[in-house]
Amino acid sequence: MPSTTAMGDAAGMQLVEYRNAATLKHLPTRNGFGEGLIEAGALDENVVGICADLSESTRMEGFKKAHPRQYFEIGVSEQMLVAMAGGLAACGKIPWIASYAMFNPGRSWEQVRTIMALNETNVKIAGAHAGVSVGPDGATHQAIEDIAIMRVIPHMTVVVPCDAVQTKKATLLLSQTRGPAYLRFAREKSAIVTTEATPFALGKAQVFRDGNDVAIVACGILVYNALVAADELEREDGIACRVVNNHTVKPMDGDAIVDAARGCGAIVTVEEHQVHGGMGSAVAEIVARRHPVPIEFVGVNDTFGQSGDPAELIEHYGMGTTAIKDAARRALRRKT
């Protein structure tokens, strides 16, 4: 792919040259969480970390070393992870609790609902290893239902950053924002498409690429796939795609979604999650109420994952660039 500057710069989006795949930097989004948590703990000693025996995997290990008096290890006890955090939050602390997303919030959902959300406690969940790109760990560890179970809970903020740089920013901002929150990130290395200068605000989606034929609304590490697919669609078919980084699933930027629907007349949603109940479903709810247009959904289609190479699993479950392009073409045909 030729190296060019990313569209969106004119609007102040400051992206890296994502079209030059050969030189693009790749880091796990979990690294951004680890770096952000260390910085948050230095800025405010009330920020504490609690982990369920996965400090290295979740990247809480660095926080443990940098701020040992602010770190707690409780072993494999995810329900207690939430309960302990709720007590610390009631005493004025800002707890981050970390495990694989499949176990927290997966295993601890009732405690999350009651202790965190019902009481509006200031607890933050770091849901690591989300999506099928966990790879060889297989279906038991691949959280592809977590967005659905979290966004339905009242008072819960749900954030799915697009790369490691944005994950760090989200960690810092959530640490300074009162209320229960869920930060979802992945295990495998993924493309970095933003820079330190790229703006980030909770509840404010970002247009990374402009176009008026089809809007691709994506979250998480698949934002990069959406950008690549949009470039290929323009080169192959002359289709101009708008790419929206919809990083805050709740509260979602309804105005940005409606603007995409009005400006493009068709939408494709892209997420590393079940198509039922996830980010795409939230987009459809907004569109149905405010500006109905054809929508196609890219994600896992009502099945469980399996062990395999992360990149191969993304392709196998229909979330690669080819699947996104096919969905965009279907959405465009439905406009007429």
- Name which of 309, 310, 28, 312 is nearest 190 in CA terms: 28
**What phi and psi values does residue 124 have, to the nearest 5 degrees?**
-115, 130
Q: How far is the C-alpha of 209 from the C-alpha of 273, rounded, in Å? A: 23
Q: Is 78 a catalytic residue?
A: yes
As given in the structure block, the two tokens for residue 177 are 């924002």
| C-alpha torsion 195→196→202→207, nearest 10 | -30
Strand 71-73 with 47-51, pairing: parallel
Q: Of the residues 78, 145, 271, 296, which is catalytic?
A: 78
- Which residue has 């290395």 as its token pair? 189
- Identify whether the C-beta of residue 171 lies closer than 8 Å to the C-beta of residue 128: no
| Separation in Å, CA 277 to CA 54, 245, 262 | 28, 18, 23
Cβ-count burial 130-141 (b if 16+ within 10 Å, e if not): bbbbbbeeeeeb
Q: Catalytic residue positions?
A: 78
